[in-house]
Amino acid sequence: MKVVVIGAGNVATHLATAISAANVQVTQVWSYHNENAETLAAELNAKAIVNLSEIDLDADICLIAIKDDAIAEIANQLKKFKGLIAHTSGAVNLNVFEGDFENYGVFYPLQTFSKSKEVDFKVIPLCLEANNKNSLNKLKELADKLSKNIVEINSEKRKILHLAAVFACNFTNHLYALAEEILKANQLEFDILRPLIAETAVKVQNAFPLDVQTGPAIRNDELTLIKHQELLLQQPQLLDIYKTLSDSIKKTK
């Protein structure tokens, strides 16, 4: 199996590295930033291509791992590709390829990626979708080499899954960043929160989030809620977030 990777960002880097580690040949890498493609290709013993017209038309799979808004544009430049083309997005519909390719699909790894942080691909859910059985089987063949957690899911449910992931991951991480701002403004270190963050994450591995919710909002500690809001009077954006989330927690009881 020969795989071409379009992209050299966080997702593309981890995915291409995992594919190569599974003894599947990554033959080419393309990126908007050629220096990134060169770096990734060198690590994989692959070739960095400058133009999409250079793509190996006979490769088995072409994985498009770039930002969502650019997938349609890039796919439009790959219409001559003869193999199976797939994107790695959680939010882009399968039909982005319809009418332009005979075999196409989705290969969505449900995980947060940073180039500097290693991940264990064996436990990452790989969400697959394809336009026909043969394409799905080919994606499964690749997925089985990378992960023990393979899920078939259609575009509509994948978008819901991606939405939930944004709440669970992206929004949560943003709240960590806001917490860090509050601490820094008061000469406190973020490190003091790390054990709390770790314990919160551990709890939901074995329980439903609603069942382990803690804090002043779930307890209806109105005096504490008022004190917190008073501390945020000079930061209206944070005050709005605090009120919104506290009200939401109260309503979930």
- Assign residue 204 the CATH number of its domain: 1.10.1040.20
Let me know whether 142 and 191 are in one domain: no
Query: pLDDT by residue (tens digit) across 183-226?
Result: 999 999 999 999 999 999 999 999 999 999 999 999 999 999 99
Let me know whether 124 and 167 are in one domain: no
Tell me how far CA of residue 186 lies from CA of 181, 196, 239, in angstroms: 9, 19, 17
The domain containing residue 218 runs over which residues? Answer: 158-251
Let me know whether 88 and 140 are in one domain: yes
DSSP state, residue 226:
H
Let me know whether 173 and 48 are in one domain: no
> Is the whole-model pTM more than 0.85?
yes
Residue with token string 């199996």: 1
Let me know whether 25 and 132 are in one domain: yes
Let me know whether 146 and 176 are in one domain: no
Query: pLDDT by residue (tens digit) across 76-99?
Result: 999 999 999 999 999 999 999 999
Let me know whether 132 and 84 are in one domain: yes
Number of folded domains that form the chain: 2
> Of 135, 153, 171, which residue constitutes the final position of a domain?
153
Structure tokens at 56: 């190996």
Let me know whether 140 and 16 are in one domain: yes
For residues 216 and 107, give the distance between their C-alpha atoms in angstroms, rounded to a whole number: 41
**236-240 LR contacts (CB < 8 Å, sep 24+):** 238/178, 238/182
Let me know whether 43 and 112 are in one domain: yes
Q: Are strands 2-6 and 25-30 parallel, antiparallel or unpaired?
A: parallel
Let me know whether 169 and 206 are in one domain: yes
Phi-psi region of 252 (alpha: psi -120 to 50; beta: other; left: phi over 0): alpha
Query: pLDDT by residue (tens digit) across 111-130?
Result: 999 888 888 999 999 999 99
Let me know whether 66 and 103 are in one domain: yes
- Candidates 71, 61, 209; CA nearest to 140 is 61
Asked whether the beta carbons of 209 and 242 are under 8 A apart, the reply is no
